[in-house]
Structure 1
Amino acid sequence: MSDLATAHKPVRVMLWGLPRSLTTVLAKCLSYVDGIYVINEAFASAMTTGPEKEIQNAQGLESFMGNAATIADANVEVQCWEDSICTFQWVKDTMEADYPGKKIIFCKDIVTSISNHLDMIPHGYRHTFIIRHPTKTFLSLRKVFIQNFLPPGIPSDQFQLDVAMESGLKRENTFKIIADLVKHLKEQGEESCPVIVDADDLQNHTASILRQYCEAVGIPYNESLLQWEAGDDIIKKNWYVSKTFMVGNTIGNYYGAALSSTKFNPASEPPSTSEIPQDVVRLSEQAMPYYEELYEMRLKP
């Protein structure tokens, strides 16, 4: 770390994950490291709200983000970018830019947002991943969709997450996208040994997993990272985010649990199959082979 600091080159870390996989909680935790600068979901912003957005026929999501984007006078205290500049090339350039005085550039993003733009993967980063049991991931994502993005005219009991993901976002087997990106990074020489964290391990063995993660990527670790302050003060201090995403959070509170968190709470067990909606069952069955493959490569407690 000292050699890098002397050369004025920050450590650069990329965290890839799926929505509802504790990416925001992990980013908030690491936000307390001295000299860190967090770029939050810039590729996801390009995919959903930027001029090159890829949303098709996802009326509920489009409507929600459209409403967020029109609230021009929103009081957003975090450093934000506007949708109009957020192309995929702008994201790449922003991630590769110089940040004088910063020791660590930490970029957290949604893995599905880069799958059609692999040439935009930023150089100079350690690439890391967080995975979560598919049933937990999709149950939580389904809840968020129903609360915020339910298409007009569709009762919540008739909503099908797999249909919404495939028809609107053109993303069906999201865990395959993670496995494919890990393979791509290895083949291209961008990352010979991607660091993979399982969310349950992080929750149940926080000190062990967090220490290993920090050591693997060059982030200083100390036990103060095991607990932090509730609220978004640290986000206001050193995050760079989409204005639409932050305004959207004031409407839908999808970052709410993460921003109010003070530590990693113990993980719960996945519910029994009989308690899981069939759309989540279908998605989980498709995802499990890829999740199990990635799980074998994870940091071990």
Structure 2
Amino acid sequence: MAPRTPNTRVVVWTAPRCVSTAFERCVMEIPNGQIFHEPYTSAYYFGPERTSRRYSSEDVDEHQSYSAVTARLTGQFYDKDYVFVKDMAYCVKGRYHMFVQEEGLASFKHTFLIRNPAKAILSLYKASVNSQLTGWDYFDEAEAGFTDMYDFYSTLTGAGREVVVVDCDDLLCDPEGMMKLYCDATGLAYRPDLRLRRTICFKPAQGLIPLLAPSFQG
């Protein structure tokens, strides 16, 4: 029996208000993938090691520990052609080393989706204080995420890892061209019919899953 070809594994790290959910939904259109939507965000807000007070009134979910999330992401998924993860860099702050050192996580191709911070943080601030829109009533600077993306990027490149960076403005100006470049750089199977669709989602992880396609896991 011929050895099984390993599936392609890609993670995009980002910050809020960088069009990342629309980007994720575009990748979802590539057939036969296992998609994980913000799994470490679940650990950050809802797991037993959570550090944010954003959802402190909600019960802790013991199944959302960082180790449990990692175990899910590093599963075999033999029947899938690719595994794709979208998550927030600030949700793994202080844990960047594990993506270099741990064997299963080291197999992922790391990419970053960035945006002009002046645009993204202003948008996040407006959303954070609009309780009718988000249910939130305060802005938490820890959720801005740009310093965390840079620190994570520096950790990866310092360890000799190749990293792909996509600018949100470039993606919006030329979605077809940028998606082709992204797929070529990561090993994902590009399709000319991939479409970038705007979407508005605010509550991390658990609250978002019902709004998205059934293939979302994590």
- Given the two structures, how large is their TM-score scaled by the length of structure 2? 0.82
Task: Indicate the percent of aligned positions where both proteins have the same amino acid.
Answer: 25
Aligned counterpart in structure 1 of residue 96 of structure 2, from 115, 118, 129: 118
Identify if the C-alpha distance between structure 1 residues 19 and 40 changes in structure 2 by more than 3 Å, giving closer, same or farther.
Answer: same
Which amino acid in the other structure matches residue 86 of structure 1? Q
**Contact 1:21–1:130 (8 Å) recurs in 2:** yes
Residues in 2 aligned to 1:139 and 1:229: alpha-carbon distance in whole angstroms:
18
Identify if the C-alpha distance between structure 1 residues 36 and 234 changes in structure 2 by more than 3 Å, giving closer, same or farther.
Answer: farther
Alignment of 1:214-293 (within 5 A): 214-226=183-195, 235-241=212-218
- State the match for 2:55 in structure 1: 62
Deviations 1:32-85 (A, max 9, x none): 101111101111111111010011xx4xx225x62xx6xxxxxxxxxxxx9221
Larger Rg: 1
- State the match for 2:42 in structure 1: 45
- State the match for 2:137 in structure 1: 150
Residues in 2 aligned to 1:8 and 1:199: alpha-carbon distance in whole angstroms:
32
- State the match for 2:173 in structure 1: 204
Which blocks of at least 5 consecutive residues in structure 2 are unaligned?
100-104, 200-208
- State the match for 2:102 in structure 1: none
- State the match for 1:188 in structure 2: 159
Q: Which SS does the other structure have where 2:213 is aligned?
A: helix
Q: CA deviation at 1:8?
A: 4.1
Residues in 1 aligned to 2:29 and 2:149: alpha-carbon distance in whole angstroms:
27
Which amino acid in the other structure matches residue 55 of structure 2? E
Deviations 1:273-292 (A, max 9, x none): xxxxxxxxxxxxxxxxxxxx
Q: CA deviation at 1:202?
A: 0.3
Residues in 1 aligned to 2:32 and 2:182: alpha-carbon distance in whole angstroms:
18
- State the match for 2:110 in structure 1: 127
Q: Which SS does the other structure have where 1:13 is aligned?
A: strand
Q: Which SS does the other structure have where 2:36 is aligned?
A: strand
Identify if the C-alpha distance between structure 1 residues 234 and 36 changes in structure 2 by more than 3 Å, giving closer, same or farther.
Answer: farther
Q: Which SS does the other structure have where 1:224 is aligned?
A: coil
Identify if the C-alpha distance between structure 1 residues 174 and 236 changes in structure 2 by more than 3 Å, giving closer, same or farther.
Answer: closer
Q: Which SS does the other structure have where 2:16 is aligned?
A: coil
Aligned-residue Cα RMSD (Å) equals 2.7
Q: CA deviation at 1:123?
A: 1.8
Identify if the C-alpha distance between structure 1 residues 24 and 173 changes in structure 2 by more than 3 Å, giving closer, same or farther.
Answer: closer
Residues in 2 aligned to 1:234 and 1:222: alpha-carbon distance in whole angstroms:
24
Which blocks of at least 5 consecutive residues in structure 1 are unaligned?
70-81, 152-160, 166-170, 242-301
Q: Which 4+ stretches in 1 moved above 6 angstroms?
A: none
Residues in 2 aligned to 1:227 and 1:22: alpha-carbon distance in whole angstroms:
9
Deviations 1:173-229 (A, max 9, x none): 73222122111112223x2x2100011110011111111000000011121103679
Residues in 1 aligned to 2:126 and 2:41: alpha-carbon distance in whole angstroms:
19
Asked if 1:35 is matched to 2:32, the reply is yes
Residues in 2 aligned to 1:186 and 1:220: alpha-carbon distance in whole angstroms:
25
Residues in 2 aligned to 1:150 and 1:173: alpha-carbon distance in whole angstroms:
16
Identify if the C-alpha distance between structure 1 residues 140 and 120 changes in structure 2 by more than 3 Å, giving closer, same or farther.
Answer: same
- Given the two structures, how large is their TM-score scaled by the length of structure 1? 0.60
